[in-house]
Amino acid sequence: MIDEHISCPALVVAAPSSGSGKTTVVAALARYFTNLGKKVRVFKTGPDFIDPNFLAFASHQPVYQLDFWMCGEQHCRRLVAEAAKEADLILIEGVMGMFDGQCSSADIAAKLGIPVLAVINAGAMAQTFGAIAYGLANFRQDISMYGVVANRVGSTGHAEMLKEALPDTLEFCGYLQKDIGLSLPERHLGLVQAQELDDLDDRLNLAADLISQHVNLKLPPKSQFVPVASAKPERRLEGITIAIAQDTAFSFIYQANLDLLTALGAKLSFFSPIQGDELPDCDALYLPGGYPELYLKELAENTILKQQVHAHVNNHKPVLAECGGMLYLNNSLTDIEGKSGEMCGILNANSRMQGSLAALGLVEGELLPGETLRGHTFHYSKTDSSEEIACHPVSQRGRKLDPVWRHKQVIASYIHWYFPSNPELVANIFKGAL
C-alpha cells in the first residue's frame, strides 16, 4: 500500500546559463539552514560529480543526481520523495541554462511540481534583468517561479534598480554582491574538489552569513510528493567484498552506486592509491574516475598496489574501471605538460591528456546481449588501446563513442556508469558473470 502524499518545502535553483552562480547560492542556502538546525537535502540535476561534493559538504547530507534518462523518472521521483520524508528543506541545483538539455532544470521542476528560484548574473546589466527574469518565468507555462536572486551585484543602488525592473508578478528574493571572496578555484572538469580545500568550512559559513544579509531566507511553500514503490534488489552480491579506490585521484562516485552495491549485499572496502594503501582483501575491484593525471608520481610509486592489482586480474577476479580508473590500469598516462607516469600495465593501452574536451554526454552501453547500462562521459584524454572491444556505447543522441574494453574479467571504459539503471547487470559485473 502506497502512503499518502509527503509534503516538504522545496526549490529548484536554476539560471539563464552556466556560470551564473547556482552552486554558490545553493551551497550558501544549504549551509545557512543547516546551521539553523534544519535538515537540508540537496540534489543535483544532471550527471555532475564536482558540485555535489560541495553541496554535501554544505548540508552534511549525501547528494544524489537527478536525470530522467540516465537515472529513470521513477527512480528520481523515489529519491526525492524519500528525502521529503525526513527533510526540512529540499534544494535541487539545476544544470546549464534553465531550459537546456533533454532533462532540463525546467523539466525537473515541472514534473516534480517544485517552484523555481532563478539566479541571474546581474553584474553587467540593469533593467534587462527584469526582461531575463520575465522570460524565464514565462517561456513555459508548466513551471511556477518562486522568485529571483541577483548575483554579482555592484551596490545597494544597483540592487534597487534590479528590483524595480522586475514585473510585479515576480518576487525579488535578494542579491549577492560581487567580489565577496566566494569564488571557488576551477580546473578542466569544473571546480576544484571540495576535499582539496582546507578552508571550505570557512568559505561556506561566510557564504551563509552574506546570503542571510541580502536574501529573503524564509522556507518556501511545501511541495507535495507521491511515494514510489520499489522492490528491493535480490542480494546477489551477498558475501562479496568490493574494494573501491577513493581519494582525490579517484573520487567520481555516485552515492546511488554505493547504495545499490550495499543493497545487493556487497561489503564495501575503501582504499587510497595515492596515500600508499595496499589493495584490501576483496573479491572484486571498483576503480572510479577522478584526476589520476594530477598524481602521476604517487600512483607510479605505489608498486605494491600495482602488483596486487595484477594478481587480482590474473586470478580472473572482476574489475570495473571508469575513466580515470581505466587510465590507471593502462601502461602509461601523460599529463598536459608531457610528463608521463608508469601505471599498472594491465591494459595494453596508453593515454594522454589534452587541452580540449574529448567527449561529453549521457551514454548507454550494451554489455550483454539486450542488457544495457547507462551513465555519462566527460574527459580530456585520448587513449590508444589494443584490448578487446566489448561494445561501442552510444550517446543519448545515438552517436558512437569510445569503446568499452574487456581484458579477462576487467571492464574498462571512459563511462561513469549509473548502477541503478540496471541492478542485475551490475551484479553480473561484480560477480564476474559477463
Longest dimension (CA), the chain: 70
Q: How far apart are the first and last CA of the chain?
A: 37
The letter for the amino acid at 341 is G
pLDDT-above-90 percentage for the chain: 81
Catalytic annotation present for 8: no
Query: With bands split at pLDDT 50, 70 and 90, how would you rate the model's confidence at 133?
Result: very high
Q: What are the DSSP E strand ranges found in 180-276? A: 186-187, 190-191, 222-225, 241-245, 250-252, 267-271
The letter for the amino acid at 76 is C
- 204 has pLDDT over 90: no
Query: pLDDT (tens digit, 9 = 90+) per residue, 11-26?
Result: 999 999 998 999 999 9
pLDDT at 192: 63
The letter for the amino acid at 309 is V
pLDDT at 1: 38
| Helices 22-35, 50-59: inter-axial angle, 10-degree rounding | 20
| Residue 285: half-sphere exposure toward Cβ, Cα within 13 Å | 33
Q: Which of the residues 76, 282, 323, 344 is marked catalytic?
A: 323
* Domain 241-430 grouped into CATH 3.40.50.880: yes
Query: What is d(CA 203, CA 174) in angstroms, rounded to the nearest whole number?
Result: 20
91, three cell numbers: 534544494
CATH code: domain 6-225 is: 3.40.50.300
Mean pLDDT of 236-250: 97
- Counting other chains too, the contacts that 185-192 makes at CB distance below 8 Å and 24 or more residues apart are 187/291, 188/380, 189/50, 189/291, 189/378, 189/380, 190/48, 190/50, 190/51, 191/23, 191/50, 191/51, 191/54
Mean pLDDT of 89-108: 96
Domain locations along the chain: 6-225, 241-430
Query: What is d(CA 318, CA 308) in angstroms, rounded to the nearest whole number?
Result: 13
The string over 361-399, giving b where at least 16 C-beta atoms fall within 10 Å of a residue's C-beta and e elsewhere, is ebbbbbbbeeebbbbbbbbbbebebebeebbebbbbeee
Same fold across 6-225 and 241-430? yes
pLDDT at 186: 59
Mean pLDDT of 384-391: 95
Instruction: Supply φ then ψ for residue 52, to 5 degrees.
Output: -60, -30
pTM for this model (two decimals): 0.94
